[in-house]
Amino acid sequence: MASESLGSSVLLLAALVALVSAGSDAPRGVAVGFVFDPKAKCDPPCEHGGVCIRNNTCFCSRGYEGESCQYANCYPKCKNGGVCLRPGKCRCPSGFGGKYCHKVTCDGGCWNGGECIAVNGVAKCNCPSSWTGSKCQEATCPQGCRNGGVCVAPGICSCSEGWLGGACHTAVCTQPCLNGGKCISPNKCRCRPPFSGPHCKERKKLH
Ligand SMILES: *[C@@H]1O[C@H](CO)[C@@H](O)[C@H](O)[C@H]1NC(C)=O
């Protein structure tokens, strides 16, 4: 009985020595030179291939650490709040990417020459001056697009029907306003007295 348990402990010890030499640079639950107890019980049990070498002392396999070898470790460490999922594999918070979460990433990227940068730990697109929006997807029109016009490219408005001009500020009257009348909104003339009517054609009777 005693020799049988001694035999199994020698076998286990040989396995541990193999582990120690395989993972020479890996951090581990205990230092080399431990007292080994083949009857040791570990509660909670050693995870991820760790070996229980003394009561409640796990010898962790390479890439794991913690009391019961429950934590994976990542080298280099996961940056920017990334979590080590398994050895060498980080799960990155949104806004960060790369193997160690060391790269800033903007969801969907930055368009139109925008650059993804970190501002107070949050990824943001830094847009060129003529573009705006979270992805630099919106053009800016410094002149403004009036009367329902939409800015479609830097400085270029797409005007709604009946309007023209760089800022959609010029109304269009399909029939011209006569006698000095002015087109003030689509197909609407403001007439000069004494003229009136849709196109300022009629002369008002003065009493
Ligand atoms: C380990 O724990 C068991 C029971 O939990 C106990 O019987 C044994 O004596 C302990 N061994 C050592 C070395 O403390």
Domains and CATH numbers, the chain: 2-71 (no CATH), 74-104 (2.10.25), 141-170 (2.10.25), 173-203 (2.10.25)
User: What is the CA angle 68-72-78, rounded to 5?
Assistant: 145
Atom of ligand 1 nearest to the CA of 40: 1
Residue 55 Cα to ligand 1 middle (Å): 6
Residue 88 Cα to ligand 1 middle (Å): 35
Q: Nearest residue CA, atom 12 of ligand 1?
A: 55
For position 122, what pLDDT does the model report?
83
The DSSP bridge pattern shows strands 51-54 and 122-126 to be unpaired
Residues with CB under 6 A from ligand 1: 37, 41, 55
The closest of 123, 133, 125, 134 to 97, measured between CA atoms, is: 123
For position 29, what pLDDT does the model report?
52
Atom of ligand 1 nearest to the CA of 54: 13
For position 127, what pLDDT does the model report?
96
Which three-class secondary structure state does DSSP give residue 84? strand
Does an H or E element contain 9, and which? helix 2-22
Residue 45 Cα to ligand 1 middle (Å): 15
Contact present, 136 and 117 (Cβ < 8 Å): no
Which three-class secondary structure state does DSSP give residue 46? coil
Q: What are phi and psi of 161, to 5 degrees?
A: -55, 135
C-alpha 186/C-alpha 177 separation (Å) is 11
Query: What pTM, to 2 d.p., does this model score?
Result: 0.46
Low-confidence stretches of the chain (pLDDT beneath 50) = 1-28, 30
For position 74, what pLDDT does the model report?
93
The closest of 5, 185, 50 to 34, measured between CA atoms, is: 50
Give the CA dihedral 126, 128, 134, 138, nearest 10 degrees. Answer: 180
Tokens of 200: 């300022």
Residue 65 Cα to ligand 1 middle (Å): 23
Q: What is the pLDDT of residues 117-156, one digit of tens each?
A: 988 878 899 999 999 999 999 999 999 999 999 999 999 9
Atom of ligand 1 nearest to the CA of 55: 1
Residue 40 Cα to ligand 1 middle (Å): 7
**Which single residue is written with the structure tokens 């730990």?**
121
The DSSP bridge pattern shows strands 195-196 and 202-203 to be antiparallel
Q: Nearest residue CA, atom 4 of ligand 1?
A: 41
